[in-house]
């Protein structure tokens, strides 16, 4: 049985991790990022203040948020999985592998973005791909509690007829779609939804080939209609729909995924062998 600590268990990501791990064959220790307040201690989830002594004997420590104590891991010999969105690549280890369990001998990995994991699935989903372009409709969920709280506060302000405060998110999210500067052939559009990302891709076949749907790999489900953000928000799978032209040289591939359920929880369980 794995012994696991989740640091930042009171955050959106931390809570989701604890809920996903507790039914598995492991022991989960929920830890805060620092000293506890009375309000923290009276919450629904029992969380403990992090101390180096609590980490002794644990197999894995998962970072959902940044601990206040810089020396917390000074004498910790076990494995660390850094899932913080702001994790520094120079300090948080190599990106987690896209397949398989935790390799023997590696002590530290960092999470991959959900988008990176989705794009890695393309050759496994459709045969004959030559060119890819499209739009990523990105929900607020990737920002965790900051995103959810910020969107709620902005929405309440707009309803009251006030100009929303953009300090928490850096931009106005309520009732707006915000396109970002294109990255290559992909445009990100930030949407005022809590959960559920959609990736709408235009596919062109490679020379001399036709596009063809493949059997879904693990964690992916083909669906009869393009998925909505609502469909995705309650699914641990990547939902996929492909619409082909008559000659199968072009197609529209719609991929729906939740950045936490599919992008973090599923690969974490796979990496830990749970």
And the tokens for 95? 């990106």
The answer to whether residues 233 and 135 belong to one domain is yes
The answer to whether residues 144 and 230 belong to one domain is yes
Give domain status of residue 182, yes or no.
yes
CATH of the domain at 170: 3.30.360.10
CATH of the domain at 19: 3.40.50.720
Q: What was the pLDDT predicted at 100?
A: 94
Tell me how far CA of residue 89 lies from CA of 64, 94, 95, in angstroms.
15, 7, 8
The answer to whether residues 88 and 188 belong to one domain is no
Counted domains in the chain? 2
The answer to whether residues 60 and 143 belong to one domain is no
Alpha carbons within 13 A on the beta-carbon side of 32? 15
Residue-wise pLDDT tens digits, 116-151: 999 999 999 999 999 999 999 999 877 877 888 888
Q: What is the mean pLDDT of the chain?
A: 91
No. of helices (H) and no. of strands (E), the chain: 7, 15
Q: Determine how β-strand 60-63 pairs with β-strand 79-82.
A: parallel
The answer to whether residues 141 and 107 belong to one domain is no
The answer to whether residues 22 and 90 belong to one domain is yes
Judged against a pLDDT cut of 60, whether residue 218 lies above it is answered with: yes
Residue-wise pLDDT tens digits, 154-207: 999 999 999 999 988 888 989 999 999 999 999 999 999 888 999 999 999 999
The answer to whether residues 253 and 151 belong to one domain is yes
The domain in which residue 210 lies consists of 116-258
User: Is 141 within 8 Å of 16 (Cβ atoms)?
Assistant: no
Give domain status of residue 38, yes or no.
yes
Judged against a pLDDT cut of 60, whether residue 22 lies above it is answered with: yes
The answer to whether residues 125 and 248 belong to one domain is yes
Last residue of a domain, which of 59, 87, 111?
111
Q: What was the pLDDT predicted at 146?
A: 84
The more confidently predicted of residues 89 and 59 is: 59
Give domain status of residue 274, yes or no.
no
Q: What was the pLDDT predicted at 148?
A: 82
Give domain status of residue 266, yes or no.
no
């Amino acid at each position: 049985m794995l012994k696991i600590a989740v640091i930042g268990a009171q955050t959106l990501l931390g809570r989701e991790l604890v809920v996903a791990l507790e039914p598995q064959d492991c022991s989960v220790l929920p830890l805060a990022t620092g000293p506890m307040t009375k309000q923290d201690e009276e919450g629904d989830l029992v969380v403990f203040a992090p101390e180096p002594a609590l980490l002794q004997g644990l197999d894995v420590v998962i970072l959902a948020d940044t601990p206040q104590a810089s020396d917390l891991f000074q004498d910790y010999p076990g494995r660390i999985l850094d899932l913080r969105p702001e994790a520094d690549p120079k300090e948080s280890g190599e990106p987690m592998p896209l397949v398989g369990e935790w390799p023997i001998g590696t002590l530290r990995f960092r999470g991959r973005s959900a988008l990176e994991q989705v794009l890695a699935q393309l050759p496994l989903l459709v045969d004959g791909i030559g060119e890819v372009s499209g739009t990523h409709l990105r929900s607020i969920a990737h920002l965790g509690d900051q995103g959810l709280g910020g969107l709620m506060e902005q929405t309440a302000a707009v309803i009251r007829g006030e100009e929303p405060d953009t300090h928490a998110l850096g931009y106005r999210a309520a009732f707006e779609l915000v396109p970002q500067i294109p990255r290559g052939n992909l445009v990100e559009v930030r949407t005022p939804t809590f959960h559920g990302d959609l990736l709408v891709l235009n596919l062109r076949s490679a020379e001399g080939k036709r596009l063809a749907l493949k059997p879904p790999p693990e964690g992916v489900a083909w669906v009869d209609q393009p998925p909505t953000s609502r469909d995705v928000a309650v699914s641990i799978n990547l939902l996929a729909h492909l619409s082909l032209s008559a000659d199968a040289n072009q197609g529209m591939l719609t991929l729906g995924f939740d950045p936490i359920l599919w992008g973090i929880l599923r690969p974490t369980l796979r990496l830990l062998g749970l």
